[in-house]
Amino acid sequence: MFMRYVRIWWMLTVSSFMISLVSRFNAGVFFVGKFLRFLFFLIFLLTVFSRTETLAGYTVNQMVFFYLSFSLVDTIAQLFFREVYRFRSLIVSGDFDFALIKPMNPLLRVLVGGADPLDLGMLPLYIAAVIYTGGRLGDVSWVNVVFYFILLINGLIISTGFHILVLALGILATEVDHAIMIFRDVVSMGRIPMDVYHEPLRTTMTFVIPVGVMMTFPAKALMGLLSPWMVIFSIALGLLFFVLCLKAWHYALFQYSSASS
Amino acid sequence: MHTYLQIIKGTIEEYTTYRVSFILWRVRLVVQLLVVYFMWWAILAGHQELFGYTQGAMLTYVLFSSFVRPFVMGTRTQEVGELIRSGNLSNYLVRPMRFLGFCASRDIADKLLNVIFAVSEIIVLYVLLRPQLFIQTSAVVILLSFVALVMGMVLFFYFSLLISYLGFWTPDVWAPRFLSFVFAEFFTGALFPLDILSAPLYLVSQSLPFYYFIYFPLKVYLGQLSSMAMLQGFLIGIVWTAGLWALERIAWSRGLRAYTAEGK
């Protein structure tokens, strides 16, 4: 069963890549735009640090590492979940019926059915930058590196949950475009560590809307600023959030009325 | 005139028909504001002043930018590119109205809704957050800020239309717009006041039209520009507006010659 879904995902991904790369001009401009967006915030961050030594106790290197870890999780999520951005048209036209009648889980089709090759192009840059900046953070133990990777995966699980939640909202309220952008805006708070923000925002954004667990905790684990218990708690929170989002999806699926079909 | 009033009315009704979408649109704008606001509040903690801005001045800048941004950059002109690409522009060309007037009316409706809701949202946020705000008391400066705001609005209208007109020559209308969003996000001063940038980058920003969308009206309001800098800003802004207006006229007439109503 699992291999069958991997094969289906691969076929959908190849098709999606071919569609995205039909226009080289389009692909090139989008790629440049994504790179500039990354660069511009980095410039902003460095500008802030040109006038202050530390921010909430973090040095400029640490702050850049937080931003790179954010970019890594964010880009992988966008690479896999681009199809979510196109979900509304399926709902309002009733074409979601075609995903439902196929002998496969409809969630797979609408969640990962349209990977974005342009984000794939950005990944090597982020990975290289993470390795380079991570190497400049000082002594980092192998345990912390392992924690970093585990929490990155945990971050991706939480991000998957958020995208499923947006899909569920899409079915219930035929609204995806603003919902996904609200998610992007909220998650963008993770470009800097949650510790910088004032309470009660810090706790809310870390544990209630788990953006902190998703974006800040991996980098904190690598820096040795997170206890093993907190790592375990983060994984439990990530899994719980994911399960709740899946439940929301199943609820929404039962409410689907196939309007306009 | 009656036609354009009906277009404004119709656009407002269109917005309010999809209520969840409308509510989420407003929520999104508030979230956008809060993200920047909380970030600056956190950065400024422990600093009496940073980049020449007190906490009050910076938070005023951020809060008011959330009003200026949708007022200047709230637009429906991004739809024009898709109208051209799909061939649906033909439906509008045969109607007894000017297409530019149609676009302007849609934008007026968008801005009207934005202003009404943005003001109430800012009042609610002010009551909740109680930030130290800088209130401008000089009537002349307030008037000049309003003029700068209108200039930014007209400038953005033509800028956005020009990007959409690329649809006359290429079906790839979204990529250039995405690129313009990325530049606008940085060079309009929506995230931060542009004068915190290094001198060369600030100079670059001054030479771009984005400078006049958000940053310039807000700096005029805050009274942080000298008379000379203000005069220079208005003059360059007027040159940009006139230049983009002329470009828009040329692009529209040449674009119509290239338009084949493909897809219809």
pLDDT in tens, B163-216: 999 999 988 888 899 999 999 989 998 888 999 999 999 999 999 999 999 999
Beta bridge partners of B256: none
Q: Count Cβ atoms below 10 Å from residue A184 Cβ, excluding itself.
A: 16
Per DSSP bridges, beta strands B53-54 and B49-50 are antiparallel
**Which residue matches tokens 């390795």?**
A131
Q: Where are the beta strands (DSSP E) in chain A?
A: none
pLDDT at B46: 75
Q: What is the pTM of this model?
A: 0.89
Contact state of B172 with A23 under an 8 Å Cβ cutoff: yes
Q: Count Cβ atoms below 10 Å from residue A203 Cβ, excluding itself.
A: 12
pLDDT tens per residue, chain A (261 residues)? 788 889 999 999 999 888 888 888 888 999 999 999 999 999 999 998 888 877 878 889 999 999 999 999 999 999 999 999 888 888 888 888 888 998 889 999 899 988 888 888 889 999 999 999 998 888 888 999 999 999 999 999 999 999 999 999 989 888 788 888 888 999 998 999 998 888 888 898 888 889 999 999 999 999 999 999 999 999 999 999 999 999 999 999 998 887 765
Which residue of A29, A43, A55 is in closest CB contact with B179?
A29
Q: Is the minimum CB–CB distance between A199 and chain B shorter than 8 Å?
A: no
Q: Is the minimum CB–CB distance between B232 and chain A shorter than 8 Å?
A: no
pLDDT at A53: 79
CA separation for the pair B80, B89 (Å, rounded): 8
Please count the residues of chain A.
261
Size of interface A-B (CB pairs under 8 A): 100
Contact state of A173 with B185 under an 8 Å Cβ cutoff: no
Which residue of B39, B41, B175 is in closest CB contact with A25?
B175
What are the distances in angstroms from CA A249 to CA A56, A112, A184, A253, B39?
38, 15, 19, 6, 32
Helix (DSSP H) and strand (DSSP E) numbers for chain A:
13, 0
CA separation for the pair B260, B90 (Å, rounded): 9
pLDDT tens per residue, chain B (264 residues)? 788 899 999 888 888 887 888 888 888 888 888 888 888 888 887 777 888 888 888 888 888 888 888 889 888 999 999 899 888 999 999 888 899 999 999 999 999 988 888 888 888 888 888 888 888 888 999 999 999 999 999 999 999 999 999 999 988 888 899 999 999 989 998 888 999 999 999 999 999 999 999 999 999 998 888 899 999 999 999 999 999 999 999 999 999 999 988 766
pLDDT at B42: 84
pLDDT at B40: 86
Contact state of A47 with B198 under an 8 Å Cβ cutoff: yes
CA separation for the pair B217, B211 (Å, rounded): 9
Helices in A56-141 by DSSP H: which ranges? 60-81, 87-93, 96-100, 106-112, 117-135
B163-177 burial, b if ≥16 CB within 10 A, otherwise e?
bbbbbbeebbbbbbb
Q: Count Cβ atoms below 10 Å from residue A229 Cβ, excluding itself.
A: 8
Distant-in-sequence, close-in-space partners of A103: CB < 8 Å, separation ≥ 6: none
Q: Count Cβ atoms below 10 Å from residue A194 Cβ, excluding itself.
A: 24
Which residue of A175, A179, A188 is in closest CB contact with B35?
A188
Q: Is the minimum CB–CB distance between B43 and chain A shorter than 8 Å?
A: yes
Q: Which helix (H) or strand (E) holds B50?
A: strand B49-50
B49 three-class SS: strand
Helices in B134-226 by DSSP H: which ranges? 139-165, 174-187, 199-206, 215-222
Contact A155, A107 (CB under 8 A): no
Distant-in-sequence, close-in-space partners of B73: CB < 8 Å, separation ≥ 6: B156, B184, B188, B213, B214
Question: What's the complex ipTM?
Answer: 0.87
Q: Is the minimum CB–CB distance between B191 and chain A shorter than 8 Å?
A: yes
